[in-house]
Structure formats: structure tokens, C-alpha cells
Structure 1
């Protein structure tokens, strides 16, 4: 398999390295090479190439106490402006332009008052004529748990870190140390930043920096994500599914969807829909086949909106590339 993205033609080894970074974004090249059974020098060269060209980005995302999905309807011609404005909103995790009823769909994390967000901040966003808010109740799967499917179970086990959770709402946030905000800022910019560079920036010892990073990840204060555009790995068709389900079927549907390779994100939400699902596939025919699965009999209604452009993923703003979106 070979996919062309930027200057890099993605080989099977490129895809396996991307998959390895999805499992542990901070894994040293030596550990990835051992797990994949490949020469360390080759793995390091390919990995650096992927990072430098932006095919994959490793970054920390800060855990916030609460998150809400905001679905926006916009004045004609203003959806891109709205999506970009939501990208700049503090706490925005992703911002997508979509087809269907919603012109823009975003996820926003917040620690304070939801009233301020919904009565002051979102209504002031340019282009919005109407919006709906869906608080996130639980994550079945986040992008941290999504895999490109290029590793064997044994390879994935060899790379799985000891600490870190895919459930961003699993625990109450704990008090942070004096330099933790600076350390988090370093990792938000570069999730693979080494301890020496973190120590220099925060003016602590490398040993102290290492301990704090381990605590921040292990306690769920941050999550380290490998961010890759689905289209770059042969999955150009992306859709947001708004699933309405009887209460006694939500858990069953959630458990089934979590294990599907097409699903890169899955959240239980409050509102008219009970589940929000982000699906990525190669073709519209594959999306149709997924939507035609008999398991959907457990849902009352499924609304499908295609993602036509992503402006932000995993807390990172994206450069807009009209040719590869």
C-alpha cells in the first residue's frame, strides 16, 4: 500500500509508525523499532519525516472538567468564518464544516460556567443564526483510542503505555504543581518534546520534569494524542452521525460502535440525540455499508452529516488545504 501525501509517499512502514504513535505518542524511536521489528535508524528517519511534513502531529490536550458539543446553523456563505471563529474559541477541541442541518459542529471544553459559554461567547460568534448545545456525558472512544489498523495485537501491546486514559471525563481533576502549566504548554506545542527541552523552558531539573510529565499523564490532567488527517491515510470520507436511541439501547450501541474500526470518536450526549459518532472510511459505498448494518435496528433514528472541512482537531488548528481536505 502506498499513499501520496505532501512530499511523502506513505509506505506500509510509514503507516505502522503512525499507528505506533497513536498507541504511544511519546515512545522513543528505539522502542517503536523494537516493537515493529525494524531497524531503529530507518524508523527514526521515517518518523521524523512524518512529523516534519505534518502528516502526523503529536500533541498534548488538556483535560477540562466538562465538554459540550455545539451544533451551529449559519447565515449563507458564513460557515467558514464561523468555523474559524470557533477554532479560536478557548477550549475548542475540534471544529468541522458539515452538510445537513448543522453547518458547523464543534466540541468545546470548559471548567467554569456553561451559562457564560452559551449566552455570551457562542452567540457572539460571527455568522451563527441558531445553535444547539449537547453536553458530553461520557466518552466511549476518543481520537486517542482510534487506530489506523496497521499493527498486530502483539505490536500494540508492546507499545501500550503504562498510564493514560481514553476517557477524558473519568476522574476529577487534581491540583497541579507550580510548573505544570508551563510543562503542559510545552507538550501542547510538541507532545514529543524531550525532558531536557522541557526542563530548560520551565527551569526545573530533567528529573523533576520527567516526574511531572508522568504524573500529568497518569492522573489524566493531559492526554497525549497522535493527530493525523484521515484523508492522508486513505480515509477521505468522514461523517458525523447523530444517533437517537431508546435509553436501554445506548450502552449496547455504544459498546458495538466503540469496537468498529470506522469509528474514530464516540460520545454519549444529552439532548435529542444520545450518541455522536465520528466515522471515517475510504468511500461513500463503505459509509453506506456501515449505515446499513443490522445493529442500527437498535437506534430510533440516525442523522448523517458529512464533514466537508476540518478547521481544528485535537485542540490543534489546521492549515486549510483545499486539495487534500
Structure 2
């Protein structure tokens, strides 16, 4: 992608990086680290959100203390791309991400449900009834070793990063001892923050019909337990890292209870153990497609025994982490990820 197509300035990227570290920090505190005036930073962020080049959303998918049932689903189709099929997938609250991809499958989805029963119901009454769909292949996520919420633009220096880490509004630190727990009464708050996790406490209280003090305690509990995770991202096409690739890989695990070593490459976004013909799904973001061989070589060099079995290049991202993207890659809206509602069956012969 030519450099002149990037619409994010260095100042924009610094703001995004800061919010990736401290997503709910006040602008006055961020200004003390980044420099400039708080109102200038707020206006810059508002402009990015308004034109769809960046967002800060939140996800909370647990049911009680039970982790969600998440999966990668390969969708096999006949014929050409179908706008109706794409629209039904992007508007589906259980489908968090929708990709048009290379290879023998037509689409790749990332989905979430409270349990396996609802996943099976969704597959049989919705996915397999979509126009042109001939079959699916599901890879259940058994462990998330690294998620996209930890990917950073890396525009700030070490001193700035360390100062941001100490700011209020950072939320849960991965690896902490807290146990995620989402109560039914928390779901309205989680869904309200899906498209804008920087909403103020007063607005969140209004949306829930609760007091500000109760909402503040609720938010503090969800963030500190790791139940609510923030995801501040630039639109991939305008981030400087426009190429997304999903790698299916095999890694020998002599002890099933021992997780594979996570490779902290700059390009790594997601690193998950999955079921199916391969036991790892690794998502990477690249500056150009020509960087792919070097990235895969680095992965295999740092993980002796790793075998890359399949490489899936994303041709078009319709939806990512509940955010719907337009043809030019900008965010146009959020589909609240209400994964707890039962799937609505599609009519047969749609």
C-alpha cells in the first residue's frame, strides 16, 4: 500500500498508542505524557473516531466465571461473493470478525458463544443456511496465549510508555491473579462500551439506568478482574500494517498441560491453541506481503519444531472485534456483541 494512502499522522499514532496502554485515562493525564493541550488531544481523537480511522472499544464475553466458547470457522461457498451473505454475517452479534480470504475456503470468521450447544445451534440454523454456503470447518479455541488487545503501534518511547503504565484507567494487567466474572447485570454496560470504551461514567450510568457511584464500582470490578478488555486500534489499512495473515501451525506438545512458548514478534497479533488438523492459529500484521516469508521464518526460528501448515491472507476485512469496516477500510459502525442471545434461525432456502 503506498505511503501516501496512510491517513494517520505521527501525532495520531502517538495518541492511539497511548490509548492502547491507558484506554480510559483522562486527557489531562495523557497530555502530561504526550505533550500538547488536553483539548487538542481530545479533538484529535474525536476526529479519528468520526472519520472511522481509529476506535477504542471493549469486549467482555464471560458468563459468570466461565470463559466463552470461541472458534475460528472456515466457510466454504460456491459462486461469487454474495452481498446478502456478507451482510448477514457482519450484523450477527455472535460473529466478531468476518474476513474474505485466500485458499480453498471463501470466508474466515471468528465467533463467540456462551457454550458449545449455542455454537452448534448457530452453525446448523444460521451459517449452513446462508446463500451459497456448502460447508464449514470449525477450530475451537482452547487457549488464548496472546490476543489483539496487546498489539501496539509502538510510536512512544520507553519513558513515555512507563509513565502511561502508571496512569489510572489502564485496567487489568495480563497475567494478574484476578478471575474474570461477568454477571448478567453487567452485560448492558459491556455492550454500551463495545463501540466506545471511553464513554464517561455519567453516560454509562444513564445508559444502564444506574447511579454513577454504582457504575463506577461496576466498571472498576470488571476492569481489575480482566473481564472487560479494551481494544484500541487504528483501521488496519491506514495503520502502516495493512496486511493481515492467519497462520495455521503445528507445534509438538509433549505435555498437553504445557502451553507453547508465545513468540513476541512485532508482527504477532493473536496466538491461540485450537482444535482440528492443526493446533495453533497465529494472526500477524505486516507492512507488506513481501514481509511474510521473513515473519514465518522468524516464528520457526524462535520455536524449533514449529511447522506452518497453511497461510491464509485476508483480502478484505468486513468486521473485526465487533467493528464493521467499509470498503475503504474505515469503521462505519459497531455491532454490539450480545453473544448471550440465542441465534435467530434463518429460513431454509434463503
TM-score of the pair, normalised by structure 2: 0.80
Q: In 2, Cα distance between the equivalents of 1:60 and 1:51?
A: 15
Assess if the C-alpha contact under 8 Å between 1:253 and 1:295 holds in 2. no
Correspondence for 1:228 among 228, 234, 247: 234
Moved over 6 A (4+): 249-252
Q: In 1, Cα distance between the equivalents of 2:173 and 2:58?
A: 13
Q: In 2, Cα distance between the equivalents of 1:58 and 1:222?
A: 13
The match for 1:209 is: 215
The match for 1:118 is: 123
Q: Would you say 1:163 and 2:171 are equivalent positions?
A: yes
Q: In 2, Cα distance between the equivalents of 1:4 and 1:197?
A: 38
Q: Would you say 1:313 and 2:311 are equivalent positions?
A: no
Assess if the C-alpha contact under 8 Å between 1:165 and 1:223 holds in 2. no
Correspondence for 1:273 among 278, 284, 296: 278
The match for 1:67 is: 70
**Pairs aligned (count):** 315
Structure 1 residues 173 and 212, CA, compared in 2 at 3 Å: closer, same or farther?
closer
* Larger proportion of helix: 1
Compare 244-253 and 32-41 and name the one that shifted more: 244-253
1:13 aligned counterpart, secondary structure: helix
Q: Would you say 1:283 and 2:288 are equivalent positions?
A: yes
Deviation at 1:182, TM superposition (A): 2.7
Structure 1 residues 115 and 165, CA, compared in 2 at 3 Å: closer, same or farther?
farther
Structure 1 residues 23 and 245, CA, compared in 2 at 3 Å: closer, same or farther?
same
Q: What is the alpha-carbon root mean square deviation over aligned residues? A: 2.8
Deviation at 1:296, TM superposition (A): 5.8
1:247 aligned counterpart, secondary structure: coil
Compare 247-256 and 20-29 and name the one that shifted more: 247-256
Deviation string 1:92-148 (CA, Å, 9 cap, x unpaired) is 221111101222111111013133233333222332212111111111221210101
1:260 aligned counterpart, secondary structure: coil
Assess if the C-alpha contact under 8 Å between 2:23 and 2:198 holds in 1. yes
Assess if the C-alpha contact under 8 Å between 2:17 and 2:152 holds in 1. yes
Deviation string 1:189-225 (CA, Å, 9 cap, x unpaired) is 3211111222223232222221111222223332221
Query: Which ranges in structure 2 are unaligned for 5 or more consecutive residues?
Result: 63-67, 332-350
Greater RCO structure (CA 8 Å; 6+ sep): 2
TM-score of the pair, normalised by structure 1: 0.86
Assess if the C-alpha contact under 8 Å between 2:73 and 2:137 holds in 1. yes
Q: In 2, Cα distance between the equivalents of 1:249 and 1:3?
A: 46
